[in-house]
Amino acid sequence: MNRPRPTQRPTRFWLDALRRRRERLNDELDLRAPIEWQSDEERRAAVKFFNAAFRAEESGLTQAHALSHEMRALDPDLAEVLELYGNEEGWHRTLLTEFLEHVGGRVEPMGRVTRTLYRLYGSARRMETIVLANLMFETIGSTTYRLALRNVRQPAMRQMLTILTRDEAFHVPLNVHFLRQVLANAPAERRRSARRVYRLLFLALTALPLASRPKARAFDGIPTLTLARAYARELARLFAREHDLGFDPPRLLLLALGLDTQELARAAVDPLASPTSVESAERAVDRERVVVSAL
């Protein structure tokens, strides 16, 4: 079977797209409808769910702006792309702050697992490690939002989840572009080390539902195994079209989760089905054209 060719676009493409999107950062949440909770457990789980989203946005914003600063002298266009991308995450963070208040919660201190994960991420120094970790966080974030949309019925919740899902569909391929840029000049040893980070993070993130499910499941209704499988599937698909980068998923783990690696490879041939393809990003550039598809 022919392996799909990665389709790439220059930094200018991403810059133009982000500038266009900036004009339309005006989606307002319509929070007039009162929320009817089935139980207090459901409400508390929703607060946990959106707190986790808040932390992800905050981390994306901080890292993107720090990288933008570092890139300014080297590649001004890429620096602006990173800045505009960070601003989108900042906008998500603002929306989530407002939303958390609406659901009767607030931004809470991070739990032990989340704190450890972000502390490790914060200690990363190599640019390719930061970008790769961010790309993988974006992937599991957008996967969780999409799966939650299948189960959540409250209109206000669906509105918030739809905004996040739609924008992350653009951020995932954008982060693949960042990764390509920082790896382009990296020596072979650093590329090899990035591949090790990918496999390690792959394992850690696939296990994350063990920690998140007891807190959030009463809201999003996603079982542990379903989420772990979806994370592994999406993290494996990340580089299925980008095989020239050499990021191979841990096959044993995929097999243990009952995922068919041949099928994953076949699915990657269709650029519109691939979450990382430029075609997917192009479809998500204009927010109003995005249809939230089920996994």
State the minimum distance, in angstroms, from the CB of residue 138 to Fe ion: 5
Exposed, middle or buried by CB within 10 Å (0-12, 13-18, 19+), for 265? Answer: middle
Which is closer to Fe ion, CB of 140 or CB of 240? 140
In sequence order, the 6+-apart residues with CB closer than 8 A to the CB of 115 are none
| DSSP line for 93-109 | HHHHHHHHHHTT-----
State the minimum distance, in angstroms, from the CB of residue 92 to Fe ion: 4
CA distance 234 to 146: 12
Contact present, 289 and 283 (Cβ < 8 Å)? yes
Maximum Cα–Cα distance for the chain, whole Å?
56
State the minimum distance, in angstroms, from the CB of residue 59 to Fe ion: 10
State the minimum distance, in angstroms, from the CB of residue 168 to Fe ion: 5
For Fe ion, the nearest residue by Cβ is 171
Which is closer to Fe ion, CB of 269 or CB of 292? 292
In sequence order, the 6+-apart residues with CB closer than 8 A to the CB of 40 are none
Which is closer to Fe ion, CB of 57 or CB of 80? 57
Contact present, 168 and 91 (Cβ < 8 Å)? no
Length of the chain: 295
Which is closer to Fe ion, CB of 85 or CB of 219? 85
State the minimum distance, in angstroms, from the CB of residue 64 to Fe ion: 9
State the minimum distance, in angstroms, from the CB of residue 34 to Fe ion: 26
Which is closer to Fe ion, CB of 124 or CB of 257? 124
Which residues would be at the binding site for Fe ion (CB under 5 A)?
57, 89, 92, 138, 168, 171
Which is closer to Fe ion, CB of 171 or CB of 217? 171
CA 141, 147, 148, 149: dihedral to nearest 10 degrees?
110
